[in-house]
Structure 1
Amino acid sequence: MTEQSSAPHSERDPAATTDAHESHDHETENHRPRDSKGWDGKLRLDKMTLTDEPRDPHVEVVSDPEVSDDEGPPPEQLPADEDLLDDTPEDEEDIELVHCKISDMASLRLERFKQMKRLCLRQNRIEGISIPADAASTLTEIDLYDNLIAHIKGLDAFTELTSLDLSFNKIKHIKRLNHLTKLKDLYFVQNKISTIENLEGMSNLRQIELGANRVREIEGLETLTGLEELWLGKNKITEIKGLNTLCNLKILSIQSNRLRSITGLEKLVNLEELHISHNLLTHLSGLEHNTNLNVIDISANPIEHLTGLNGLTHLTEFWASNCKLSDFNEVERELRDKAELETVYFEGNPLQRSQPALYRNKVRLALPQVVQIDATFVKQV
């Protein structure tokens, strides 16, 4: 993974919305976290919102104040006689109007576009979903990222949908979606959702993004047996549980929560990536059954020792920046046998801070198989 500056999808911090808009564009096919200061793929946190110092696991976590629902003055309305799609051919399959101050979808007269497959109305001022039911037979993707939607309504007819993005809205409850049984990708980043609910029967879902909400408990996912990616960063989760039926899960991102231990992963034998940075972990036990893991990010946790990695023979990337690791002998003992290991991050640990001039050479001696240490590639001799 290449390190890059924080920038986002979805799961974004409100302070980082400008950067965030650049990241969850649909061209972002590979939305893996780029560094541990950052975040779940599409969403990256502003650097100022996370400390790189591991938190004290003994300090009680105080709840963040809830965001006010006061949205300020009413949105500026688009003149009703302005036709933003006047020059668009009526056989157009991809309708996109971004940042156009649209508040009323009906004024777009979308019924003209009989072959519409994708509708993208990002960064507008839409409060309610209003799409002609005639489009239901062709429409497969709806992107309403960054609007003012508070309630999920108006999607009853759209059973052909495979992708729905409602990130950066004001949604508090997941409702009226479980008839969308063909849906594969569902994005709810940066809303006001506190409960994962009403997703029963959506067995074709491949990924769901719920980063930067108010979720306290992992629940309501039992029937999503096709799920491959689960993004839960920046919530208020204290325990990993409720995942036993998700046997196809490959990526679990649960960064920036309130976890004190790794639990509930025993059945996830196909898990390939675990992103669990910025929590309160003090040890790595709980990964004994996840032998297919190839990427682990434990950065910014108060972890002092690396025991708990036995059997993870397929590790290719191990991210452990800004922890409390201090023993090169332990690094060698726990990681040297990982023949596929290519990338390690240990910057910000006592390993690096105590002897910065010798640090890289010591890592190379301990782990001769790696080709990248932190953000720098190892010079091949």
Structure 2
Amino acid sequence: MSAGGDAGARVERVTVEPLDLPLREPFEISLGTQHEAHNVLVSVETDDGTVGYGEGSPLPPVTGETREAALATARAAGELLDGEPVADYRRLAGDLRDAFPGAVSALFAVETALLDAHCRERGLALSELFGGAPRPVTTDLTIPILPPEDAADRAHDAVSEGFEHLKVKTGSGVEADVERVTAVREAAPDAELKVDANQGWTPAETIRFARELRDRGVDLALIEQPVDAADIEGLRHVRERIAVPVAADEAVFTPEDAMRVVRAGAADVVNVKLGKSGPVAAAEIAAIARAANCQLMVGCMLESAIGIHTSAHVVAGLGGFDYVDLDGNLLLAEDVVPTERSPTVDIAGPGHGVVPDQ
């Protein structure tokens, strides 16, 4: 991932604006219910007229940012990019993260727009910066916290639409979670099932959940972030006591976090979510996970095609992702570009290939 070549185009203008995206239906997880994604849209224009686009999806319980804070940070970050060569994206991404530590949604939007502008100026697909040509990526579909019968209906509909991988949100209480996941399994007996508690359980509750599902004959591909993000010891405790692979999500925002998790032996799977790390650091996290023989997962927030396609390009470029959860834009009432509700994320260049409808 070296920029190479001459300096090329330089940043002339950075525009930051709110992006409100109503959802098709309310989306409930253990951290709360969303009816609309209150996102941040960033465009980076170079002195040769090239424009790149980026998006962030702040969610205070996960990213620690309000939308207002993310907008302010993105604008301040844009000022630091003024006159800088877009080809220096790696240095600039590092400078921004040093200047605005923890502002992950804002910096995801700015960094993506910077990379997109660089790639569009050079006529490259974003995936090529990460080592591979753009190719279709297959995603799962997420079923939020719902009563069992409603979750079963969602699962049935998803399978009829061609989805072979489903992720069920949990963390609302072990008994209710067991009933929901069992109902989904009955409605979609051949689908691969993952569950995501979004930190909603204790270690003891996670172990009880896994054993109750095992006793019912319900198989799971993984359990994602069952315990509090700071409880690395609790995550390790769970991993050592259940047969289902355990994924770290909110526990890993940075490469340093990834090192902490793998050194502790706390996870079988690391969720490389660009909404937490940004594209450049995502590649570093993936490398750490691979070196520790952990499987790779990619996740998303409630993002439009801009954020989703950016992540899909990273997946296509790096390769080797065992679990793909890039369905955020499928949960929207309307995307920023026409989007087919399908398990296949078709991507193209240059850049991430998405130019939002104005």
TM-score normalised by length of structure 2: 0.30
Which of the pair is proportionally richer in strand?
A: 2
Which of the pair is proportionally richer in helix?
A: 2
> Which structure has more RCO (C-alpha within 8 Å, separation ≥ 6)?
2
